[in-house]
Amino acid sequence: MDCVPPGIVPRELELPHRHYHNSVTERAYVEELRFEAARLRRSCKRLVWLNPLLGYRDFQPRARGVRVLLPAVHEHRAAHNVDSLLGLAAALEAC
């Protein structure tokens, strides 16, 4: 394989067009994710999402999947270092 600049997919590795996202498949994905997240929330006492990206000061929930999941969780916690995990342990002990 020739040298390819970063971020460029070589033609032989490209997916056929039918695999690309479009608005129809994206909507179906979002609705399925919303449904499963709600089902998961109903099946547990407390749903905690550990997100290592919350360790970044500038984190914003821009991805559609993140925005869909956030309403389903009871708590969205950072999990990017030992201190954040110790904080999780303390919170779980308090339950």
pLDDT in tens, 10-59: 555 555 555 445 555 677 788 899 999 999 999 999 899 999 999 888 98
Phi-psi region of 86 (alpha: psi -120 to 50; beta: other; left: phi over 0): alpha
SS3 state at 91: helix
Prediction pTM value: 0.64
As a whole number, mean pLDDT of residues 66-81 equals 93
Please say if the pLDDT value at position 61 is more than 70.
Answer: yes
